[in-house]
Structure 1
Amino acid sequence: MQLGTRWQAGGTPPKSVPADLLEAISRVEATLPQAASLNAGAPMPMWTLTWLEGRPVVELDSGIELSVDAEGAITASRFDPMD
């Protein structure tokens, strides 16, 4: 695994995020409640970009993972962030 970078949901993704993931990230972010409406001053969750076997994986702190398989297809999955 190769570490990448982190950025806040709703912010501008770093240039190191592959273009094919940008649309999928935007779709996920569109489903997120605005932090301010839930808890005044609460920050938005953070994305983490890593590389596994040469392919990008982005995880949102709230439990969503986007990955690119060997054929280039993007897969979304959920995980328990408390695990």
Structure 2
Amino acid sequence: MSKINIKQRFGVAVKQRRHELGISQEELSFRAGLHRTYISDIERGSRNPSLENIDKLAKALELSVSTLFAHYGIDRGNNG
């Protein structure tokens, strides 16, 4: 089994939460003040967002950064 890197785990978490809220990438980009293609790149795991952008995304997803990482498994990787 290939190991999923943290950028991919973060992207999956953002997408999962966005779907839970029932919003589009465009709506998330508006809420976060980021470009829609940047959101798409993050969800695919091809971007390495800065701490500032992680904070913007968490707020736009109506979560704290710590909740986003802990609740959506970003911090666990394949170990757990």
* TM-score (normalizing by structure 2): 0.33
* TM-score (normalizing by structure 1): 0.32
More strand by share: 1
The structure number with the bigger radius of gyration is 1
More helix by share: 2
Higher relative contact order (CA 8 A, sep 6+): 2
